[in-house]
Structure 1
Amino acid sequence: MAQFAVYLNTNESSRKMYPYLLDVQSPLLDSLDTRIVIPLAQKALFRNREIKYLTPSLTIKGVAYLVLTPQMAAIHKKNLGDFVQDCSHARQDILASIDFLITGF
């Protein structure tokens, strides 16, 4: 599995709010049954509630989404839906948001 890949959210109870999941786990750990993911939600739903450095923005199919780093979680990899797109171009911002969540810097 590719780090920084975006997948469809297959969870019926959360996919309306969070249609996509961003896989942030290292591919060195592909043998694990779980993946660390961050949900993505439409930026338009979070007007003026973005947190600089913590919730970077990604564009998926022409729509802006926030990376909701504070909601990062582990899920079973069988619960990842179809691959949508690669976001490795935003690697630095994504890793910075995780670092900010953990260290505050």
Structure 2
Amino acid sequence: MRQFDVYPNPSVRSREAAPYVVVLQSHFLAATPTTVVAPLLIDDDRSAYSEASVKIVFGGERYVLSIPELAGIEPSRLGRRSGAVTEYDYEIRRALDRLFTGF
């Protein structure tokens, strides 16, 4: 499991609006009992979007990576990797900075 890998959302309750989650935590912290993820919301032009969010195209579909909704989850709940969004590295790191530092 590497940073910016994408997995199916394990939450049945939120899967309709957020079919995937993105790993935000560095793979260098693999020994921790949880990993930090954020949901990929379907971009329906009504999804919550802020300066701490990132518009992403994944699998040919438009999503919003909602970083303010990050959560810790046990890696065993994530299932099989669906892909990665490493091409959005800069935008994701910038949104994380906005969330934690305000800049």
- Count of residues paired in the alignment: 103
> Which residue number in structure 2 is paired with residue 77 of structure 1?
75
Deviation digits for residues 30-61 of structure 1 (CA, Å, limit 9, x no counterpart) = 122211001010111526x532x321111111
The 5 Å alignment of 1:32-43 reads: 32-43=32-43
CA contact (8 A) 1:11 1:79 kept: no
Q: Which residue of 2 aligns with 1:50?
A: 49
Q: Does 1:10 align with 2:10?
A: yes
**1:94 to partner: Cα distance:** 0.4
Q: Provide runs of 4+ in structure 1 moved above 4 Å.
A: none
Q: Which blocks of at least 5 consecutive residues in structure 1 are unaligned? A: none
Q: Give me the TM-score of the superposition, normalised by structure 2.
A: 0.91
| Letter of the structure 1 residue corresponding to residue 97 of structure 2 | D
Instruction: Give percent identity, aligned residues only.
Output: 29
Deviation at 1:12, TM superposition (A): 1.2
Gaps of 5+ in 2: none
Aligned-residue RMSD, C-alpha: 1.4
Using the size of structure 1 for normalisation, the TM-score is 0.90
Shift of 1:86: 1.3
